Amino acid sequence: MNMSRENQHHPIQEIMATYEQPLLRYVNGIVHNPETARDVVQESFIRFCTGSAGKTVTHPSAWLYKTARNLAIDSRRKHRNTIPLEELPPTAEPAAAAPTPAGLAIARDDARRLRQLMPQLPAREQEILRLRYQAGFSYQKIAGIMGLSVSNVGFILNQALNRLKKMVQDDSVAAMKGGTL
Amino acid sequence: MKKPDFELELTRYLDGELSTEARGEFERKLESDPELAARRDELAMLVSGLGEAFAGEESVPALEPERRRAILARASRAGGERTTMSPWAMTLCLAAAAAVVVGTFLPFIDRLTRPFERRDGFEYTVLRPGAKPIDPDADEIWIGESFATRGPGRPGAEDLPAVAIYPDTLDIVEAATPDQPLPGLPLLRELKYWRGRAEQPLSPDAVPAISARDDSAAASSSFLDRAFLAVAEYPLVALPLRHESTALRILENSLGEGRLPRPGTLAVEELLNALDYGYPGPEAGEALNIGLDVHVCPWNSSHLLARLWIKGAAAGQEAGGTTVGPVAAEWGRATLEFNPAAIQAFRYVGSSKPAANDGALPRLPVRIPLPAGCEITILCELVPAGIPASEFAVARRGTPPVFEPLDNAETGGETVHFTLTYRIPGSPSAMTRSVSADALVHPFASASDSFKRAAALAVLGGAVEAGRADAGWWNLAVELAYAGSADGGTEADMLPVLARKARAAALGMRGPVAPPPGAKKPRK
C-alpha cells in the first residue's frame, strides 16, 4: 500500500528531476563536500514541500537555490564554528596548486583548465559564475538568490571574468615556460 | 570615457542584460572600436569556455533512494495525501478542534496567524509552518535579541519588505510580491547571521554593552573605559542614529561657568553631531548620502577609528520622484558589518548606560526619521585582527568567541561595511545604500579635517564622561581640535576654543592656554 503511494506521481518529483543535479553541483561548489551537498539539497526539497504547501511558488528555481544557499552557508558556518581562533590556518585563500608537468599538459584543454583555475577565485565569484553560466540565471534572479543588488551582480561577474581571464593568461605563460624548459 | 564602465557594459552585453536600446548603442560602439570588439571576442570565448567547463564538470552523486523516499514522504504529508484516518473522521476531528480553539483562543490565533495571511498581493513563504511569531503587532519584532520588520498590514508600511524571524527555530518568514519576488534583501543579509545562532542570540542594536563581569567598565559610562565587543559575537550591528545637539549646549553652559559637566550627563554621540562637518549632499534623485572613513585611532595608535556619516538631501531637492520636504527619510537604519578576518573587536563611541541587569542592552533609537539636510556622524573604535587579546578588554556575553568567518570575510580587502536602509516619504519601498572601507592602514594625519573634528569631540566628550583628570587627554583634545580646524569655518573655529576651555576647567588652569606650536589661530 505504501509502495503504491510512493509510486504515485507527485509534483515534487518533477522539481527534483529538474533541479537535483544542478542544485547538487551548486551546493557542492559552496560546501566542497558531496555528502553535505546531498544533505543540503535533501533539506531544500523537504522545505520546498512543507513550506510551499498550499501556496504558489512562482519561481521554484530561485526559491530552491536561495534556500539551498542559506542552508549551505549555515552548514559551512556550523562546521567552521568548531575551529577555535588559534587553530585557524594563516590564510583563508585556497592554496594555489603548484603546476606540475602533468598539470600543464592537461591545462591545454580550455574547459579543463578553467575548471582547474576556478577554485582559485574567491568563493563569491565562483558562486556567481556558477549561477550565471551553469544555472543560466538572469542578473535579477542571481541578485535575489545571493542578496545582492542587480548592479552588484554585474560588477562581481565582470570582476570574476576579468580575474579568470588574467589567471588563464598567466597560466598559459607558465605552461609555455614549462614547455620550453 | 572610462574603461571600467565599458568592461561592465561588455559583460552585460554578452550576458544579454542590456536593454534593446543600450544594446544597439553598444553594438555601434563595438563597430567603431576594434579594441573593444577584440575584448568582446576574448570575453565571449571565456564565457563559452565557462559554459563548457560547467557542462563537463563531474556530477555530484545523486540523492540516494532513502533520501528520495524521505522527501516524497514529506511532500505527501504536506499535501495531505497520507493519512491514517478516513476523510470523514479527519473532517469531524478538525471541526471539533477548530471550534474549541476558535472559541478559546480567537484573539491569540488572530495574532499568531496574521503574518501568514495573503493580502495586498503579497505571498508569504513559511519556511517552517510550526514556528510561532512573537508580537506581530509590533512594527519591529524583537525576539530575544533578534530583529525583524513586518510590512504588509502595518499602517504606513504596507509595501515594505516583510521578513519575520521566529524565536524557537530562528526560521524566517518572507513575504513577496510578484514584481518583488525576494524582498527585504538588506534584512535578509542580516538575518543570515541570526540563523544558526539559536544558542547565542545576537542583538542588532548592540551598542557596546557592559558585561556584568566587568566591574571597572560598569563603573563608568564613558566609551573610553568601556570594554570592547568581540566581532566573533557581534559581526553585524545596528547603530543608534542621533542628530540632537543638546550635549553641546550642556558643555557650553558648564564651561561658561568655568566647570566641566558632571560625568554621565554628556552623550558623546550627541556631541559628535553638534557640529556641521560639511558632508557632501546626495546626488540628484537620492534622499541621503553616506560615507565611511577608517583611520588610525588618535588615542590608541594600534586601534582604528571608523567614522560613518549620513547627509540628508536639502528641502526642495528632488529625491525618489518627489520633492524633499522637512523630512528627507521617514526612517533610517544604519548597520555596520565587520570583516572578522580584519577586525576582532569594536566599541561604539557613544553613551551606554550601565545595564540594569546582565544581558539588558540599552535601547537607543536605531530607526529614526531623518530631517532634510541632516548630518549624522557615528564613530566606532576598532581593534584590528592580530592585536594580542591581553591588550584590550572584551565584554563577553555568551560562549568564548570562536572564529566564524562570515560571507564578508570572503570578499577580501574590506574592513567594515556600512549599510543605510531608509524610506523616502511616499515611496513604496525601502532603499539601501552601502559603502565599504578597505583594509589599508590610513594614518590619522591623512584624515580629513572633519574627521579630526569628530575625533576631537570624541576625546573631549569621552574625557568629560570618564572624569579624566590627566593632562594627556585634554592636550590631545586641544591638539585634535586645532588639527581639525585647518579648513576654517565658523563652527570649526569654535572647537579649539571649546577644547581649551574644557582643558582649563579640567586641569584647574586659569586664563588662556597656549595652542600647540604651529596651530592656526581661531578666527573671531
pLDDT of residue B106: 34
Query: Which three cell numbers mark A14?
Result: 518533477
Mean pLDDT of chain B: 66
Residue B495: strand, helix, or coil: helix
Q: Which three cell numbers stand for residue B178?
A: 510578484
Per-residue pLDDT band for A97 (boundaries 50, 70, 90) equals very low
| Cross-chain Cβ contact B407/A130 below 8 Å | no
Q: Do A147 and B232 touch (CB under 8 A)?
A: no
Q: Do A144 and B181 touch (CB under 8 A)?
A: yes
- State the pLDDT at residue B28: 86
Q: Which of the residue ranges A40-54, A92-106, A163-177 would you say has the lowest mean pLDDT?
A: A92-106
pLDDT range class, residue A165, cuts 50, 70, 90: confident
- Among the partner-chain residues B49, B67, B78, the one whose CB lies closest to the CB of A111 is B49
For chain A, give the mean pLDDT: 70
Is residue A86 predicted with pLDDT exceeding 60? no
For residue B449, CA distances in Å to B235, B274, B482 come to 29, 16, 9
Displacement of CA B204 from its chain's centroid (Å): 8
Q: What pLDDT does B458 receive?
A: 95
pLDDT, residue B452, reads 92
List chain A residues with CB under 8 Å of B17. Answer: 138-139, 154
Taking only the tens place, the pLDDT of each residue in B272-286 is 988 888 899 998 888
- B117 in A contact zone (CB under 8 Å): no
User: To probe the interface with B, which of A31, A41, A85 has the most B CB atoms within 10 Å?
Assistant: A85
Neighbouring CB atoms inside 10 A of B272's CB total 28
- Residue B339 has what pLDDT? 76
Sheet with B163-165, strands from edge to edge, namely B123-126, B172-176, B163-165, B146-149, B140-143
- For chains A and B, CB pairs below 8 A equal 194
- DSSP codes joined into one string, B55-123: HTSPPPPPPPHHHHHHHHHHHHHHTT---SS-HHHHHHHHHHHHHHHHHHHHHHHHHHHGGG---TT-E
Per-residue pLDDT band for A109 (boundaries 50, 70, 90) equals low
Confidence of residue A18 (pLDDT cuts 50, 70, 90): confident
Amino acid letter for position B100: V
Quick check: B125 and A55 CB within 8 A? yes
**B439 and chain A: CB distance < 8 Å anywhere?**
no
Residues of chain B with pLDDT under 70: 1-5, 76-221, 233, 236, 238, 351-367, 396-414, 428-430, 487-493, 509-524
ipTM confidence? 0.75
Contact between chains at A37 and B60 (C-beta distance less than 8 A): yes
**B81 reaches A (C-beta below 8 A):** yes
pLDDT of residue B310: 94
Cβ separation B410–A123 shorter than 8 A: yes
Rounded to a whole number of angstroms, the distance from the CA of B16 to the nearest CA of chain A is 9
pLDDT of residue B521: 52
| Chain B contact set for A130 (CB, 8 A) | 54
Q: From CA A53, how far away is CA A128, in angstroms rounded?
A: 30
Q: pLDDT by residue (tens digit) across B419-437?
A: 787 878 777 666 778 888 8
